[in-house]
A = this chain, B = another copy of it.
Amino acid sequence: MPDKAKVLLDPHFRTMTEIFSAADRERLHDTAEVVWGRDDPMPPEDAREALAEATAVVCSEWRYGPLPDDTPDLRAVISVSGAFPNQLDYQACRERGIRVLSAAPAFGRQVAELALGLALASCREIAAGDAAMRAGEERWLHAGNASTFMLYDQPVGFVGYGALARSLQPLLAPFGVRISVYDPWLGDGFLRRQGVRPVSLPELLETSRFVFVLAAPSSENHALLSRELLERVRPDAVVVLVSRAHVVDFDALTEFVLAGRFRAAVDVFPDEPLAAAHPIRGARGAVLSAHRAGSVREGMWDIGQMVVDDLEAIVAGLPPRRLLAAEPELVGRVVRP
């Protein structure tokens, strides 16, 4: 009987129990011999030594220096953070047949769910209505709906069509919305086949009643939603920001929402924790959330499930199918925010 494959498992800053359910931890040990597998960070020198026999590395960042020359069994570097490792030599990985994988897809469902929840909280004024009830200032029935509106049948825009967008799209389908997409990394033909309409960013902002900002941060999209572009947002629109504040001119967004120019629902901020005095905290047209889209406890176990599913595949000599593989064309264009 051959030796079990060895997996270097060093999840810090995440913890073992955070990402693995008991069942998945059992599957993990059935699949491979776990090296380290502790919550504190593995000493880099130990890790470099272990790489010589590892079939896969599961980590949250590549903290192990240059990729050693002699890693004959290494087939995959897996990040449990949601982003790709920054300090890894991707070209060497590609040439040596080492896949680099990220757990980003594990966040799709939980982020999409919150994005929909925030959108409904904004258009139906659920958070504001709850606050009014607690303050004894609520208005009833029609009076309470003077400025609400429905999601059904509305024009919707997605800024970015990656894993978050693909999880959100089916949640919106029963509302009969028409979805426009701006994603410069995807072709029009591909987008049309997904049932969405490729458009320019200005057109998206001018036509959408709901704008979902879903783009992963990259070296190319800092403040992509500039002040000038935000001026094009419809006055009756909601901007739902759930990927990263990086992609928006946040000062302009704040200013516009405070001025009642449009509504916003915001889960991510340029500096977190957000300054106590940040003016957006007082914006009536905003629904605010403290970066809580992607860290629901039960959702985190999706990470471990996907990691074990793909480790099983890798150990069996098969391609991984659940995690996101780094693509050479894009990996240099993505930055960790």
Contact = CB atoms under 8 A, between A and B. Distances in A.
Interface of A: 18, 94-95, 97, 109-110, 113-114, 116-118, 120-121, 124-127, 129-134, 136, 138-142, 144-146, 148-152, 170-171, 173-175, 185-190, 193, 272-274, 276, 281-282, 287-292, 295-299, 305-306, 308-310, 312-313, 317-319, 321-322, 327-330
A276 B133 CA distance: 9
B127 A127 contact: yes
B94 A124 contact: no
Given A132-B290, A141-B292, 18 more contacts: A95-B95, A110-B150, A113-B124, A117-B126, A118-B126, A120-B120, A121-B121, A124-B296, A125-B292, A129-B288, A133-B274, A134-B282, A136-B276, A141-B290, A145-B295, A170-B174, A189-B308, A190-B322
A113 B151 contact: yes
Given A141-B290, A281-B133, A330-B318, A150 B187 contact: no
A95 to B, nearest CB: 5
B309 A329 contact: no
A185 to B, nearest CB: 5
A148 B134 CA distance: 21
A7 to B, nearest CB: 16
Contact of A292 (B148, B185, B291, B328): B148
B140 A272 contact: yes
Contact of A116 (B120, B144, B273, B318): B120
A289 B133 contact: yes
A327 to B, nearest CB: 4
A221 to B, nearest CB: 14
Nearest to A132: B290
A327 B322 contact: no
Nearest to A125: B292
B152 A113 contact: yes
Contacts of A145: 292, 295-297
A322 B193 contact: yes
A173 to B, nearest CB: 7
Contacts of A186: 313, 318, 321
21 contacts: A113-B124, A114-B126, A117-B117, A121-B121, A121-B126, A126-B126, A126-B289, A131-B131, A132-B290, A133-B288, A134-B282, A138-B290, A141-B290, A141-B295, A145-B292, A148-B297, A150-B296, A171-B175, A173-B174, A187-B310, A190-B309
A191 B132 CA distance: 39
